[in-house]
Amino acid sequence: SQQGEEDPQALSIQEGENATMNCSYKTSINNLQWYRQNSGRGLVHLILIRSNEREKHSGRLRVTLDTSKKSSSLLITASRAADTASYFCAPTQGGSEKLVFGKGMKLTVNP
């Protein structure tokens, strides 16, 4: 298992703005997953992108994956105060591999 490194570590924006966060990893992967965690709550799976995919959408979320650069980005469009949370990326080889979480990115959306 490997840990993804999120960047920036913190981001503060106004409601309605877009938020972009990046994730870098070190070795080849089968898929990369993004999770959100509201303070003191459980992690919520947002989206999974496979290594043969370059872009994926889910509602206001857009994820890209560049395996040549070993990086992924998560874009949240038209942010809302409810998007305030920590966001984690988790690159994996698939199967039953455990997820290893880094420090995450703390997003604050101000109303």
Partner 1 sequence: AAGVIQSPRHLIKEKRETATLKCYPIPRHDTVYWYQQGPGQDPQFLISFYEKMQSDKGSIPDRFSAQQFSDYHSELNMSSLELGDSALYFCASSLRFGTYGYTFGSGTRLTVV
CB atoms within 10 A of CB 100: 13
Instruction: Count residues near partner 1 (CB under 8 A).
Output: 25
Among 27, 52, 68, 96, binds partner 1 (CB under 8 A): 96
| Residues paired with residue 81 on neighbouring β-strands, in sequence order | none
Q: Residue 52 interacts with partner 1 (CB under 8 A)?
A: no
* DSSP state letter for 97: P
Q: Residue 102 interacts with partner 1 (CB under 8 A)?
A: yes
Shortest distance in whole angstroms from residue 80 CB to partner 1:
22
Among 27, 41, 59, 69, binds partner 1 (CB under 8 A): 41
- Strand segments (E) across the chain: 5-7, 10-14, 19-24, 31-37, 43-50, 55-58, 61-66, 71-76, 85-92, 105-110
* Binding positions for partner 1, rule: CB under 8 A: 1, 31, 33, 35, 40-45, 47-48, 50, 88, 94-104
